[in-house]
Amino acid sequence: MTHFNDLIDGYRRFRTADYRRQHERWAQLAEGQSPKVMVIACSDSRVEPSQIFDTLPGEIFVVRNVANLVPPFESDGGRHGVSAALEFAVTKLEVEEVVVLGHGMCGGAHAALTEMFQDSPPGDGGFVHAWVSLLDEARDRVKAKYGTGPAATREMELETVRTSIRNLRTFPFVPARETAGRLTIRGAYFAISDGVLHLMDEDGDFRPA
C-alpha cells in the first residue's frame, strides 16, 4: 500500500535520478512552460497521462477530474475550473492540441449510466451525481440504444469523450482556432482491461492506435 511516506521516497528517487539527469530540461523549464498539448483525463489512479503517453516534464498541460468532463461555455461569472484551465492553455499558453482521454472501468461513467447517486446528498454521492449530469443526454441516448449491459457501459465511457469534445467547441476561442488551423481536438480512450489505447476519428468512432 502506497502512502505519503512512499511518495517522499519517490521524490528522493526523482531528485537523485530524473531531476539530475535532465538538468538541462529543468533549467529550461525554470524559465517557463510551453507545452503544445493539453490533456483532459480522469482522476482515476490507473489513467495517468504521463505514464500512458510516456511524457517528460513540461510536455503536457493536464486537467484531471471525474470522467474527464468539460462543461459547456457559461459566461455567468461563476467559478468554472475546467473553463479556466482550458482558457489558460488555449489562449495564454497557445497549446496546439487538446486531447480528451476517456477510459474503461470509469466510475464516473458508471454513475452516469446507473444514476446510482440520484438520491444521495452532497457528501455521499450527490456531488458526483451533479457533476456527471453533464452526461444526461448522452446517457439517455446510450440506454435507448444499448440498454444497461456491458455494451452500454463501454458506449457510456466513449460518450464522456464525445460529450467533452462537443462542449469544448462551445467555447468561442476553440472553433475559431480550429478554423484557423491553430488548434486540433483529439479524442482517445484507454481500455484498462487490456491496456489498449483507442483513437477517435472524425465520425466519433474509436479504433485501436
Q: How far is the CB of 109 from a second copy (least distance, A)?
A: 12
User: Site residues for a second copy, window 83-102 (CB under 8 A)?
Assistant: 83-89, 91-92, 96-97, 99
CA nearest neighbour of 58 among 76, 84, 32: 32
198 assigned to a ligand binding site: no
Of residues 20-79, those binding a second copy (CB under 8 A): 21-22, 24-26, 29-30, 32-33, 35-37, 43-46, 48, 50-66, 69, 71, 73-75, 77-79
180 binds a second copy (CB under 8 A): no
Cell reading at 181: 488551423
Number of residues that bind a second copy (CB under 8 A): 104
135 near a second copy (CB under 8 A): no
157 binds a second copy (CB under 8 A): no
Does residue 10 touch a second copy according to CB under 8 A? yes
- C-alpha cell of 209? 492506435
Determine how many CB atoms are found less than 10 A away from the CB of residue 31.
7
Which class for 41: exposed (0-12), middle (13-18), buried (19 or more C-beta within 10 A)? buried
User: If binding is defined by CB under 8 A, does position 141 make contact with a second copy?
Assistant: no
C-alpha cell at 145: 440504444
User: What are phi and psi for residue 207, nearest 5 degrees?
Assistant: -135, 150
